[in-house]
Amino acid sequence: MNSWQNFSKGVWKENPVLRLLLGFCPTLAVTTSAVDALGMGAATAFVLLCSNLVVSGIKRVVPDQMRIPVYIVVIASFVTIVDLVLQAYFYDLSKSLGLFIPLIVVNCIILGRAESFASKNSMFQSLLDALGMGIGFTLALLVLGSIREVLGSGSIFGLALVSAECPRVLLFVLPPGAFITLGLLLWMMNELDAWRTRRA
């Protein structure tokens, strides 16, 4: 697999949310607005990038029977940094994301990439893998959050798109709206892949 394929697979072919179906807890919980979705995606991408680099760098000195605990400590260290930075400089976003920032530690995307990719590849390839997966995860959350905010609140990034008198579908800012929107996005991805296969 060349470098471009390694990077791009996370954006489309192996998108963590829309293809691998990973990380559903934050995906469904924090995507009530585009801002929250972007914040969660960026925080996760940062942790993924840093942990992949460190895991790839230390893979030869960590005994096999200790690798998972070591990886969790590495991931938890970067999650703590993200959490403290958000609390210090982006307090409203930190309060909005709440418990889901500390829960990045147990996000299966990050531990999965550390175990399945970073621990077996070079730092450069691990960097590309993390960038692709991080961008793919952030884009999936951003699309989901934007759709829910537009349909449920009539705004995007807090900016009103329609007048206050226009009706809104409040279902989309409630938990069932997350499942409905995600289901429609998964269906659209499958249809698009089927269409591309037919054209090939």
| pLDDT of residue 62 exceeding 70 | yes
133 closest CA partner among 122, 148, 118 = 118
Q: How confident is the model at residue 41 (pLDDT cuts 50, 70, 90)?
A: very high
How far apart (Å, rounded) are the C-alpha atoms in residues 83 and 81? 5
- Mean pLDDT, the chain, rounded, equals 92
Q: Hey, how many other C-beta atoms are within 10 angstroms of the C-beta on 19? A: 19
Say what the pTM is: 0.92
Amino acid 160: pLDDT: 85
pLDDT average, residue stretch 150-171: 85
Amino acid 158: pLDDT: 82
Q: Hey, how many other C-beta atoms are within 10 angstroms of the C-beta on 168? A: 15
| pLDDT of residue 122 exceeding 90 | yes
Amino acid 1: pLDDT: 67
Amino acid at 52: N
pLDDT average, residue stretch 116-125: 93
- Greater pLDDT, 8 or 167: 8
Q: Hey, how many other C-beta atoms are within 10 angstroms of the C-beta on 13? A: 13
Amino acid 78: pLDDT: 97
> What does the block give as tokens for 1?
């697999």
